[in-house]
Amino acid sequence: DDSDYFMSNDFMNRLDATNNLNVNLSTDILSAGWYKGKNFWSVNVGLRNDIGAAIPKTMFQFMNNMSSREFGDNISDYLGINETINGQKLEINSYAEVGLGFARNITDRLAVGGKVKMLLGIGNLKLNINRIHVETPSVGSSGMTSKASIQVDATLENSSKLLELPENESGDYIDEIDFGSFGFAGYGGAIDLGVSYKLLDKLTLSASVLDLGFIKWSKSNTSIARANAEQTYDLLDPASQQEFMNIVNSGEILNYDMLKLKTEEASEKSRTRGLTSTMVLGAEYALLNDWLVVGALYTGRFAKPKTLNELTFSACIRPTNAFNVAASYSVLQGAGKTFGLALKLGSFFAGTDYMFFGKNTKNVNAYLGGSIPLGKQKTAEN
């Protein structure tokens, strides 16, 4: 609720040793599908953004501990700092896709489908912070008591025309992320594969694998920055003391002044990154002359830095094709609060698998859309 959230004991107590964050945005700008004989064809143009982060609890503990200190003019205020942060990761993958899909009923019980997609890479940014160690002499120590140190081992890889990593005015290190010009910095391909089989008259099983593919990011649009050094500060010098205090007490998860990432000379080289692939397994059973359908769906999203698994149970009432109402409950990701509702009314639909239940909600999603039928309706006879 405010910039000092990391000072809350309630927040700190909720953290795991490593805390994972994933945001997956998929938007179809244009899509269409049509029957040609017994085959169904589809095309789509869309945008995809996948963001994954791993933030260790030690990062928040460091921010909490530094903000709890009352730094003053006495050197003793700075003694006894000994903080280590390991394993912070961030990856952003953004691209456009142009897809051509095909599906066909092989028999009355078996249907197969697939899609081939051309990928246009907008940007990929990968940050690994292997270690940050901040230390000052202990209270009561003698000798070099005025020296503080910050040790960093980190790597930042960036492939994009849209994101730029400018260095500070002195050219010492990267101090921000800027937006450049839009353009494609890489190209790749991917496929989707799916199959549906009617095991019994009322029981249908399905399986699919989505986004199996990669993007190769061009050499000319790629740069790599690293930090693997120790910075020292003289706590008896007012300017050095103030610099050290500003760095360790910034309250920022991504602290450029602490990392001091420096772009490597001749760091341009091509990179190949895989997509966030998804595996889906489903089963549904029709009741009451197909008026009610119950089902179960397993989804495994091979996200970075950690795979996400979900098992969802659902029930759908569909008295007519123009009116459907569905409810769902997911058991793995949402701490027992993952109810969902969906409504289809004519050509429009809206819903959520993860409803929002206030600030303690761990997962949220929503979807809204519409379709425009063209031509005659496809029937079982034709």
pLDDT averaged over consecutive 10-residue blocks of the chain (382 residues)? 75 90 88 91 95 92 81 74 90 95 95 97 93 84 71 92 79 79 91 96 95 93 88 86 84 83 76 93 92 94 87 91 90 76 91 80 82 66 46
Residues 264 and 326 in one domain: no
Residues 177 and 289 in one domain: no
Residues 162 and 144 in one domain: yes
Write the CB contacts of 234 (distance below 8 Å, at least 6 apart in sequence): 146, 147, 240, 241
Sole residue written with tokens 């003698």: 142
| Inter-residue contact 349 to 343 (CB < 8 Å) | yes
378 domain-assigned: no
Residues 79 and 159 in one domain: yes
Residues 140 and 25 in one domain: yes
Residues 48 and 20 in one domain: yes
Q: Check residue 381 and give its pLDDT.
A: 47
Q: Check residue 289 and give its pLDDT.
A: 85
381 domain-assigned: no
Work out the burial of residue 47: count CB atoms within 10 Å of its CB; fewer than 13 is exposed, 13-18 middle, 19 or more buried: middle
Identify the domain boundary among 275, 297, 320.
Answer: 275
Domain that holds residue 313: 276-371
Neighbours of 247 (CB within 10 A): 21
Phi, psi of 165 (to 5 degrees): -120, 80
Residues 304 and 245 in one domain: no
Residues 227 and 311 in one domain: no
pTM for this predicted structure: 0.78
Residues 179 and 311 in one domain: no
52 domain-assigned: yes
Determine the length of the chain.
382
Identify the domain boundary among 250, 275, 300.
Answer: 275
Q: Check residue 382 and give its pLDDT.
A: 45
Angle (CA) 118-307-124 rounded to 5° is 45
CA distance 143 to 79: 13
Structure tokens at 299: 């989804």
Write the CB contacts of 284 (distance below 8 Å, at least 6 apart in sequence): 203, 204, 206, 293, 294, 295, 296
Q: Domains in the chain: how many in total?
A: 2
Residues 253 and 347 in one domain: no
Residues 21 and 126 in one domain: yes
377 domain-assigned: no
Q: Check residue 2 and give its pLDDT.
A: 60
Identify the domain boundary among 224, 251, 275.
Answer: 275
Q: Check residue 52 and give its pLDDT.
A: 92
Residues 67 and 156 in one domain: yes
> Pick from 47, 43, 45: which is nearest to 33 by CA?
43
